[in-house]
Amino acid sequence: MSATAAPAVLARGESPTRRAIRRFLRHRLALAGFLVVLTFVLVAILAPWIAPYDPIETSWSRIRRPPSELYWFGTDENGRDVLSRVIWGARASLMAGVVSVVGAVLIGVPLGLLAGLAGGWVDALISRVADAMLSIPFLILAIALAAFLGPALENAMLAIAITASPIFVRLSRGMALDAKSTDWVEAARSLGNPPWRTAFVHVLPNIIPPLLVQSTLSIAEAIIAEASLSFLGLGQQPPAPSWGSMLNSAQRFLETAPWLAIAPGAAIFVVVLAFNLMGDGLRDALDPRADRK
Amino acid sequence: MSAPLLELRDVAKGFPVRDALGRRRGAVRAVDGVSLIVPKGSVLAIVGESGCGKSTLGRLALRLIEADQGQILFEGEDLRGLSARALRARRRDMQLIFQDPFASLDPRMTVEQAVAEPLRLHGIVPRAQEAQRVAELLSRVGLRPELARRWPHEFSGGQRQRIAIARALASEPKLIIGDEPVSALDVSVQAQVVNLLQDLIRELGLTFVLISHDLGVVRHIADRVAVMYLGRIVEEGPTAQVFGAPRHPYTRALLAAVPGQGHAHAPLLEGDIPSPINPPSGCRFRTRCPYAQPLCAEQVPPMEGTSHLAACHFQQNLPPALVGQDAETGGERLRRLQAYFTDQTQKQGELA
């Protein structure tokens, strides 16, 4: 904490964000996770250009072909190229993962901040609803909501967003409670900040690190949820490709054509693992305890 | 004496005490009926042991916490009657400097953002002049303006406190309350920050309320001193008089606790402050006061005096306090004088 520790010549200091990025880049597994995620994102975006075949076009002449030079991951029971379907399926999975978590954050964080900073009956009401939702297993609640909303990818995303939001309520409420007792939040008030400004300009930026970590881990969970809903026919509707629905149709041919299950299964596994590694790395990089040298 | 900038009238605040099941079990009466006047352009110090309610009093005066009763008059206007919006606008005129400069700055705001925030909130300068004003404020508190784009974690405690002072000055306040503004700093840095505060007070004509337990600092910059004990003011007066001729036994004890201040006849404080949940009846200091009499348990002593006031039933009867004498031999003389004092008052009681 000595004054001389900071080189006085630099006019601009290192921001907490830059410092976290620097730490993250040193974390090898996390970086690997990040690169895998980045690859899948690029694949999803570039699907129309990199998929070797049309993912929907059926052909009676190439049903359940094993992997070959022409069809790297084989073909399915309707003669569609599995690789092309996995590539297009990345769109549904990643979009469902990201969109539903963004939705969960948009629902959960403002409610959590409100509960933590306002306190009283507002806090009691919001917290009890969140607790009640958390008491129901994640997938069961998502399935129930998706079934209620009707089978469509958009509805599945909405169902996952709602199901994933209570964890963000709880997290941001706890962090807001913590921040509320600090001097800098009291200072914000004493300077004349209105409550909403204290919440969004002072408290929110300070609780972003744990929210970011939780979001990354929640995306992994949301991808699994989307795959599960699609597996049950509640998500992406056929013939549009989705990893979950591919697994569903593959189960009938597990013994005769295992490649139908391996490719989408591996894709889910790798993406979820990558998101989790990235989340762990972010947690380490953003750990405030690492600030104390 | 000029018109009061801030006046507290019978202000009180209790914090509920709850048991493990959340039921109310009484209240900690942190501030219990405090009246004070802070004239414009003066420096008032509030001193007392930790836990006496002085920080709570500072926050009550700024309405950062809500008082249970009493009036808080700022330029004659009761802050307790203001709407939330009107109060926020009023905050421009009153600022707080916190004790811990490592906790009082938002870790995700650069120095420039922190100091510019009050400028923006209260529309003090146009955006275009913001950077220039921040630079002026930083140099005013002795920091190089080039440091504006750095982050709080890159600074030392003393530098951070200077940033906090610059932030407090930004809105051009009429009143600044400093809650132990130097006690978290290294001793070597304390003097610099105290001198900075003193210069600012003098040059900007600030009205300053210094909350402190450091009597050396208080003596250095305060015009008047209020001594607080268990939520009440027990003595208040001009600094020279309170330090030179303390009237309340508690003030004497506080002064005696400062090394080298050797006040004769000063009781040495023993034991802890009694619990504010269940404070002693009558005079709150009586449980630790060597001069306590039965009357002290029955009646709350009123504040008596004109400019220099004290709340002690026997303030006329206490042996005179001699400043700067026999710090070493004080103990023995003290005991003899106390014996004499008790003797005298008992005789008086019998005669009455």
Which DSSP string corresponds to A140-191? HHHHHHHHHH-SSHHHHHHHHHHHHHHHHHHHHHHHHHHHHTSHHHHHHHHH
Q: Which residues contact B9 (CB under 8 A, 6 or more apart)?
A: B35, B70, B71, B72, B73
- Rounded CA-CA distance A184/A177 in Å is 13
Phi, psi of A224 (to 5 degrees): -65, -40
B43/B103 same-domain check: yes
Residues B123 and B268 in one domain: no
Whole-angstrom distance between the N-terminal and C-terminal Cα of chain B? 40
Q: For tokens 């926020």, what's the residue?
A: B88
Q: At what angle do helices A183-191 and B157-170 cross, to 10 degrees?
A: 20
Same domain, B36 and B181: yes
Judge: B149–A12 Cβ closer than 8 Å, yes or no: yes
Question: What's the token pair of residue A278?
Answer: 């990235």
| Residues B149/A13, Cβ–Cβ less than 8 Å | yes
Do you find a cis peptide bond into A239, omega within 30 degrees of 0? yes
Interface membership of B122 toward A (CB under 8 Å): yes
Does residue B238 lie within any of the structural domains? Answer: no
CA–CA min distance A98, chain B (Å): 26
Rounded Cα–Cα distance for residues A123 and A114 (Å) = 7
- The last residue of a domain, from among B222, B254, B282: B222
**CB-based contact A193 B88, cutoff 8 Å:** yes
Average pLDDT of chain B to the nearest whole number: 84
For chain A, the domains span 17-291
Decide: B104 and B177 in contact? Cβ < 8 Å.
Answer: no
3-state secondary structure of B310: strand
In this complex, is the C-beta atom of B157 within 8 Å of any C-beta atom belonging to chain A? yes
Contact call for A183 and B108, based on CB within 8 A: no
pLDDT at A12 over 80: no
Encode pLDDT of A66-88 as tens digits: 888 777 887 888 878 888 899 99
What's the number of domains chain B is made of? 2
Long-range contacts of A253-258 (CB under 8 A, 24+ apart): A253/A64, A253/A77, A256/A64, A257/A64, A257/A66, A257/A74, A257/A76, A257/A77
What's residue B324's pLDDT?
44
Say yes or no for a CB contact (<8 Å) between A2 and B156.
yes
Return the residue matching tokens 């002049």: B129
One domain, residues B162 and B90: yes
If asked whether residues B71 and B217 sit together in one domain, one would say: yes
Q: Is B193 a member of any domain?
A: yes
Stretch B162-189: mean pLDDT? 92
Residue contact A192–B155, C-beta within 8 A: no
CA distance from start to end of chain A: 9
- Residue A216 vs residue B269, higher pLDDT: A216
Res. B192: pLDDT tops 80: yes
| Residue numbers in B near A11 (CB within 8 A) | 146-147, 149-150
Q: Which CATH superfamily is domain A17-291 in?
A: MetI-like (1.10.3720.10)
In this prediction, residue B21 carries a pLDDT of 76
Q: Name the pTM for this structure.
A: 0.81
Determine the average pLDDT of the residues in A233-238.
84
pLDDT greater at residue B334 or residue A36: A36
| Residue-range definition of the domain harbouring residue B254 | 245-351
Predicted pLDDT at A292? 44
- Tell me what pLDDT residue B187 has: 83
Q: What is the pLDDT of residues B51-79, one digit of tens each?
A: 788 889 999 999 999 999 999 999 999 99
Is B88 part of a structural domain of the chain?
yes
Residue B106 inside a domain? The answer is yes
- Model pLDDT for residues B284-330, shown as the tens digit of each residue: 888 888 888 888 888 899 998 888 999 999 888 887 765 544 333 44
Q: Are strands B309-310 and B94-97 parallel, antiparallel or unpaired?
A: unpaired
Residue pair A82/A75 in contact (Cβ under 8 Å)? The answer is yes
A196 inside 8 A of chain B by CB: no
A63 CA to chain B: closest CA distance, Å? 59
pLDDT at A5 over 50: no
**Which residues 125-154 of chain B have a CB within 8 Å of chain A?**
144, 146-147, 149-151, 153-154
Query: Predicted ipTM?
Result: 0.81
- Tokens 């964080």 sit on residue: A109
Residue A225: pLDDT above 70?
Answer: yes
CATH of residue B123? 3.40.50.300
* Residue B332: predicted pLDDT: 46
Query: B124: Cβ–Cβ under 8 A, 6 or more apart, which residues?
Result: B92, B118, B133, B170, B171, B172
Flag whether B230 is in a domain: no
Please, are residues A227 and A149 in contact by the beta-carbon 8 Å criterion? no
Whether residue B234 lies inside any domain: the answer is no
Determine the residue type at B52. C
Least confident of A134-143, B24-33, B42-51, B153-162: B24-33
Q: What is the dihedral of CA B208, B211, B215, B219, to 10 degrees?
A: 10
Q: Which of A210, A220, A182, A214 is nearest to A198 (CA)?
A: A182
Residues B179 and B257 in one domain: no
Same domain, B199 and B307: no
Same domain assignment for residues B137 and B89: yes
How high is the pLDDT of residue B134? 94
**Same domain assignment for residues B189 and B262:** no
The reply to whether B53 and B84 lie within a common domain is: yes
